[in-house]
Structure 1
Amino acid sequence: MLWLAVAVMGGRALGGGDDGEVRRRLLALPGIGPWTVDYLALRVLGDRDALPAGDLVLRRALGATAREVVTVAEAWRPWRAYAVTHLWTASAYL
């Protein structure tokens, strides 16, 4: 995560460009994978359709693999991030 902190401080990770460009820059950083990029898109970029499909809590809540999460979540477009947040919250109470 040090790479991410340095990139953010230097304006190379989150600053400027569309969401797709920001995602590509983040993925280019060592140690940053798809889950982290989707999580940051959901929390930092405010992408209402972000889907961290590999998230363990999300997969458990749906009883599905990451690939199956993507398939199920198609019906939630363009609001997948809101559905994810609801599932995370509900899982905290189970």
Structure 2
Amino acid sequence: MSIFDQLSGGPSRAEEQHSGGKICSRKGCRDGAAWQLLWNNPRIHTPERRKIWLACTAHREWLEEYLTLRGLWRQTLPLPGAAGGEGGD
């Protein structure tokens, strides 16, 4: 545990993800992820490249809208093995 963990009251996001817990990519959210939002930036990525943000059910729509408004969103899929991800778009 680092000094930052002690100040924040818990492990960092990076430590949570490395320990196997998949958490939502929305800033400040620590809920478990149920969705994976696939995106790419066509100005810097090849067309087949996909980056992934994870989303809880509550933030899925917000993150999709954020990426869509910037022309980055490509697809949303359920996160394998996660509860709450029912069907993809």
TM-score normalised over the length of structure 1: 0.26
Higher strand share: 2
TM-score normalised over the length of structure 2: 0.26
Q: Which has the higher contact order (CA 8 A, sep 6+)?
A: 2
